[in-house]
């Protein structure tokens, strides 16, 4: 969302992108941009090199292509190595490290690749180590951060050179569901400070960064749709809306969740009223997957009422199959206070 990007860019130290399209949106705003993700096309590598964007290399093959492209244009590329660590983030919603993964270079092969980049004359920027996402356990996050910084020190020593920058990943989750609690930032901060104070000497001048991801915006978003039909089937109330998974795939439970659970949901037209019925809120698509709320307690809803789905500020419109069945695109509005 360009308006959100413009509002948030001055508040952060940089932006991580995962395509040439995202890079084009970020370039007018960001002081620092890094480009991650497997399968970067040659044209994307060329655009990043020309813009002096840091490329987080996902493989030796990608490194070879980036060096070749940079040589064609006589540019010194800024290259970091994404590491596939031997560990992952315990309790994370999506595990991005440990074992065979399409992301990053296996840790034991990283030092050789770094030496090759330096030998080829590239500006080796550092490491990108991302072990998992959507974690609420501060102890698990702190343990992963400690392991990540220790790994960065080991790899730097084996490569024989100091990284300018180490991205220690993210993993900070938000509490989508009942009984979930926010991440204890004070605990994470305390333990991270202690780990950084004791980091390897080779990392003494290294800059460290974290990717905050959904933590910054996830709780700020609300998805609104309108009830267009109310029906009863075998005694169960269905509230049919003009929205659905084509706008909010994550809220439908079809984006990385094993067991579907309801995002916080309300009848915004009768906000604050006591629940009067149990209803299932569905979208307008011809698939049983199109469900925004399963058996939720709501005030009695009428056609025309507005349904609000909360925690919708991350993985919303851009992460949803908006062209599925040809329904209209949703409007996106930024309220900046």
Instruction: Characterize 47-75 residue by residue with b for buried, 16 or more Cβ atoms within 10 angstroms of its Cβ, and e for exposed.
Output: bbbeeebbbbbbbeebbebbbebbeeeee
For residues 159 and 66, membership in a common domain is answered with: yes
Asked which of 188, 217, 246 is the last residue of a domain, the reply is 217
Provide the 3-class DSSP secondary structure of residue 281: strand
Overall pTM > 0.75: yes
Q: Which of 48-52, 54-58, 210-214 has the lowest mean pLDDT?
A: 210-214
Residue 256: the pLDDT is 75
For residues 234 and 168, membership in a common domain is answered with: no
Q: At what angle do helices 60-73 and 42-50 cross, to 10 degrees?
A: 50
For residues 206 and 225, membership in a common domain is answered with: no
Tell me the CATH number at 60: 3.20.20.10
Residue 89: the pLDDT is 63
pLDDT tens-digit series, residues 63-103: 999 999 999 999 999 999 999 998 866 555 555 556 667 77
For residues 167 and 52, membership in a common domain is answered with: yes
d(CA 313, CA 299): 25
d(CA 4, CA 318): 13
Hey, what are 58's tokens? 């996902």
Residue 185: the pLDDT is 95
Tell me the CATH number at 319: 2.40.37.10
Q: Is residue 331 part of a domain?
A: no
Q: Is residue 337 part of a domain?
A: no
pLDDT tens-digit series, residues 162-174: 999 999 998 899 9
For residues 29 and 133, membership in a common domain is answered with: yes
Asked which of 151, 182, 217 is the last residue of a domain, the reply is 217
Residue 14: the pLDDT is 95
| Burial (CB count within 10 angstroms: exposed 0-12, middle 13-18, buried 19+), residue 179 | exposed
Q: Which domain holds residue 271?
A: 221-326
Q: Which long-range contacts (CB under 8 A, 24 or more apart) does 96-99 make?
A: 96/130, 96/131, 96/132, 96/133, 96/169, 97/129, 97/130, 97/131, 97/132, 98/131
pLDDT tens-digit series, residues 117-133: 999 999 999 999 998 88
For residues 47 and 167, membership in a common domain is answered with: yes
In the chain, how long is the greatest CA-to-CA distance? 71
Compute CA distances 160 → 36, 146, 253, 266, 268, whole Å.
24, 21, 46, 57, 59
**Torsions phi, psi of 33, nearest 5?**
-130, 135
d(CA 222, CA 224): 6
Q: How many domains does the chain have?
A: 2
Chain position carrying tokens 């390897």: 200
Q: Is residue 100 part of a domain?
A: yes
For residues 169 and 20, membership in a common domain is answered with: yes
């Amino acid at each position: 969302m360009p308006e959100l990007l413009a509002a948030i860019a001055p508040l952060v130290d940089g932006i991580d992108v995962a395509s040439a399209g995202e890079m084009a949106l970020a370039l007018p705003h960001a002081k620092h941009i890094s480009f991650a993700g497997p399968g970067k096309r040659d044209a994307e590598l060329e655009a990043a090199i020309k813009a002096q964007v840091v490329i987080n290399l996902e493989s030796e093959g990608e490194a070879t292509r980036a060096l070749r492209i940079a040589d064609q244009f006589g540019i010194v590329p800024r290259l970091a190595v994404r590491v596939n660590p031997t560990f992952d983030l315990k309790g994370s919603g999506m595990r991005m490290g440990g074992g065979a993964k399409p992301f990053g270079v296996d840790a034991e092969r990283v030092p050789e690749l770094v030496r090759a980049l330096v030998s080829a004359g590239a500006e080796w920027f550092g490491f990108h180590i991302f072990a998992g996402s959507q974690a609420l356990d501060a102890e698990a996050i702190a343990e992963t951060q400690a392991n990540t910084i220790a790994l960065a020190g080991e790899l730097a020593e084996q490569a024989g050179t100091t990284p300018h920058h180490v991205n220690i990943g993210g993993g900070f989750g938000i509490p989508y569901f009942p009984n979930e609690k926010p991440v204890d930032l004070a605990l994470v901060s305390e333990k991270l400070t202690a780990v950084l104070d004791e980091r390897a000497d080779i990392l003494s001048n290294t800059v460290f960064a974290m990717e905050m991801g959904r933590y910054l915006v996830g709780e700020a978003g609300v998805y609104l749709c309108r009830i267009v039909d109310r029906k009863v089937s075998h005694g169960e109330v269905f509230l049919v809306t003009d929205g659905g998974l084509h706008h909010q795939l994550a809220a439908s439970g079809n984006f990385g969740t094993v067991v579907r659970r309801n995002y916080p949901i309300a009848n915004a037209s009768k906000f604050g009223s006591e629940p009067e019925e149990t209803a299932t809120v569905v979208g307008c698509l011809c698939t049983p997957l199109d469900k925004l709320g399963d058996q939720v307690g709501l005030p009695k809803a009428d056609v025309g009422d507005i349904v609000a789905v909360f925690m919708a500020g991350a993985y919303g419109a851009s992460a949803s199959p908006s062209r599925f069945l040809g329904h209209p695109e949703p409007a996106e509005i930024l309220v900046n206070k």
